Structure 1
Amino acid sequence: MQCYPEQLQAKLAQRLQPIYMIFGDEPLQKHEAIAEIRKAAAKLGFDNGQRFVAGNGFDWQQLNAAGATMSLFSEGELIELELPTAAPGRDGGQWLQQYVSQPTPDQILIVHGPRLAKDKQKAKWCQALQSAALSITVNPLSGQQLQRWLEGRCQRHQAVLQPAAKLFLMEQCEGNLLAADQELQKLALLYGNTPVSLEQLQVSLGNHARHNVFQLSDALLANDLPRCLKILDSLQGEGLEPVIISWALSKEVLLLQKVAELPSGDSRGMMRLGIWQQRQPLFQQALKRLSAEQIRQMINRCAELDQGLKGGTIQHPWTWLAHLCLMFSQPWQQEPLFISDAELAQ
């Protein structure tokens, strides 16, 4: 059953589904959808949760043993399974098909990942999931969809923007809802119920340019390492949650992988991926210095960081983020130096 992100809350109020699948390249909507499912599940006693990232070498047998750790005081268990490349492999595909045919009682499964390409949508594991799960697609918004989203966010954060300012913010945030949401929260704090003019918005964006996640993404793609680290330091000083930056970096790396699969100079293909013309040269520039293997390793690092942040096992998230920035910017032939939390603690 298909469900739009804005319909999820109503669906959850009706009843919980045993399986949810959330795929797409819009990180804010994906995070919020997962958070809504967690909240609804916790109300019904599904307060024991485990998270898994099915990267290279993942042992799918871990999932079979997940239910054994459930607390005696829990009504059920919530399992979150991330497919960082939207491809579970042969073993994972078989496991998912088997699970769909015999779901574990008292367990809710959330499977999520990036946008599913057409060939993956036709895979047996994906079709099996779609037949049994509530499916939520979270793709980048544009046009009227983005306008409706922005209107809703203004109401949520009680931010009032004049028409010209709203249009300007919509143009600036296209493809990056995280940055738009962050900016609206700041505008609400700065101006309250007073309508924000275009000039005031431009001043706010200028004063906080170093605080915008989308500017960090652009600096990374452009290989401007000093600017990247300056922005990262500024974001830390502002108290921005590391998980927001992690989502943004993951999105850019996954987009890089998809652009690399397109024919060279395929502007329309990039547009279909939600990369507008003004950002396309940045991706082309990044692909000149990053190989497919480097991008694959970056995806794995992003997945490790995301899992660690969600599981509370990352003690030095900003060091992890700085190293990810280095992986974007530095040319390297082998596995780069990457300091783990355990090594930092020594």
Structure 2
Amino acid sequence: MELSPDSLVARLAGEPLCPVYMVTGPEPLLVLEAADAIRAHAREQGYAEREVFDADGRDFDWGPLAATFRAPSLFSSQRLVELRLPTARPGKEGAELIVDYCAQPPGDIVLLITGNEWSKKHGGKWSEAVARTGRLAVARALRPDQMTGWVEARLRMRGVKADRGAVQRLVERVEGNLLAAAQEIDKLALLADGQPLDAARMESLVADAARFDVFRMIDSALNGQGARAARMLAGLRAEGEAIPALMGMVVKELLTVATLARAQARGANMAAEFRAQRVWASKEAVYRRALQRHPALQWERFVAEAGRVDRIAKGRADGDAWQVLERLLLAVAEAKARPLLGQAPGAGS
């Protein structure tokens, strides 16, 4: 049976530890918090030793994990073994290992599997074995109509009283970003002093996390949300931002993805590459989705196109810098939009 992360966490205190847990999905905050709850519960039950395995690509060697399942603990009688499976696809060898583990789980091990994605295509006998032997929770992306309820529940959990107008104002400001919402609510728990919040006081206490900034614009493009990225670009333009002020971060992010794409093409250990590029774990899923969308050579072209946008903005090339940048963002977001790059004035230069 598939659970939500909240349902899984609620069950932990009332039942014995299961031999295996899997928490996966596109909402990194929900995955992280559910995994943290499992870790804390395991520690309380005496699982003091922890081993972590990053299965980040086809080159992952499943042998050490299999050996861990068979080997006795070195430091304690009970161990938490974590398998980080960013794509939520273990492959044939990994799936067989997980099925075998679930068939005869060692008495001294709890296996925690975490991932950043999930769909009907991801499941199989291995995930059915996890759900049958333990608990499977999927952190699905919240729909816009679910955000208000999520914020209200989070406020109650943190002891913050807010009327519907205040809740709606916070929802508008965080614009669907659960991490930003959680951070703001944690801050409100300190600043509200136990007093009820109305819309006006909420306005004065929270930061404007929904402002159109370049960081979230690029994240939207990398995440395949072309229309949202274009809307944010229009917002930046309306706020009076200048193209050269944006391009430093745009080029930096595209260079990062291009570097990761080259590493992926040569079969490198992607977990190590993400660490080398200082990519936060919460953002790995965004980069992985972007890497799946275009080949390495295309990312090189995107970097070159960003350089052209900068030259246009500085008067060193012909064209409309805002239009070319918008088309670049759309092409990054959707493979089918790549021909737009050749339609901009001067695209052949």
**Which stretch shifts more, 180-189 or 247-256?**
247-256
Q: Distance in 2 between matches of 1:227 and 1:44?
A: 46
In structure 2, the residue corresponding to 1:25 is in which secondary structure? coil
Letter in 1 for 2:50: G
Partner in structure 1 of residue 331 of structure 2: 288
**Deviation, structure 1 residue 88:** 1.4
| Paired residues of 1:114 and 1:254 also in contact (CA < 8 A) | no
Partner in structure 2 of residue 157 of structure 1: 158
Q: Which of 112, 115, 119 does residue 114 from structure 2 map onto?
A: 112
**Distance change in 2, residues 1:28/1:289 (3 Å):** closer
**Distance change in 2, residues 1:285/1:164 (3 Å):** farther
**Distance change in 2, residues 1:17/1:181 (3 Å):** same
**Distance change in 2, residues 1:258/1:191 (3 Å):** farther
**Distance change in 2, residues 1:190/1:117 (3 Å):** same
**Distance change in 2, residues 1:137/1:46 (3 Å):** same
Partner in structure 1 of residue 98 of structure 2: 96
Q: Distance in 1 between matches of 2:16 and 2:111?
A: 15
Q: Deviations over 1:142-198 (max 9, x none)?
A: 356433321221123233333222113224435421110101122233332233343
Q: Distance in 2 between matches of 1:209 and 1:112?
A: 28
Q: Distance in 1 between matches of 2:212 and 2:81?
A: 29
Alignment of 1:161-200 (within 5 A): 161-200=162-201
**Distance change in 2, residues 1:24/1:289 (3 Å):** closer
Letter in 1 for 2:196: P
| Paired residues of 1:77 and 1:106 also in contact (CA < 8 A) | yes
Partner in structure 1 of residue 11 of structure 2: 11
**Which stretch shifts more, 219-228 or 94-103?**
219-228
Q: Distance in 2 between matches of 1:284 and 1:51?
A: 41
Partner in structure 2 of residue 28 of structure 1: 29
Q: Distance in 2 between matches of 1:40 and 1:284?
A: 48
Partner in structure 1 of residue 2 of structure 2: 2
Q: Does 1:218 align with 2:221?
A: no
Partner in structure 2 of residue 252 of structure 1: 286
Q: Distance in 1 between matches of 2:73 and 2:12?
A: 23
Letter in 1 for 2:41: A
| Paired residues of 2:170 and 2:206 also in contact (CA < 8 A) | no
Q: Deviations over 1:28-61 (max 9, x none)?
A: 1111111111111111111101111101211101
| Paired residues of 2:29 and 2:282 also in contact (CA < 8 A) | no
Q: Which of 81, 92, 109 does residue 83 from structure 2 map onto?
A: 81
Q: Distance in 1 between matches of 2:22 and 2:213?
A: 27
Q: Does 1:131 align with 2:165?
A: no
Letter in 1 for 2:38: I
Residue identity over aligned pairs, in percent, reads 31
Q: Distance in 1 between matches of 2:172 and 2:68?
A: 44
Task: Quote the RMSD (CA, aligned, Å).
Answer: 3.6
| Paired residues of 2:174 and 2:181 also in contact (CA < 8 A) | yes
Letter in 2 for 1:116: W
**Distance change in 2, residues 1:167/1:86 (3 Å):** same
**Deviation, structure 1 residue 214:** 9.0
**Distance change in 2, residues 1:10/1:85 (3 Å):** closer
User: How many residues in Structure 1 have an aligned counterpart in Structure 2?
Assistant: 254
| Paired residues of 1:24 and 1:115 also in contact (CA < 8 A) | yes
Partner in structure 1 of residue 43 of structure 2: 42
**Distance change in 2, residues 1:112/1:209 (3 Å):** closer
- Rg comparison, structure with higher value: 2
| Paired residues of 2:293 and 2:334 also in contact (CA < 8 A) | no
TM-score normalised by structure 1 residue count:
0.62
**Deviation, structure 1 residue 286:** 4.2
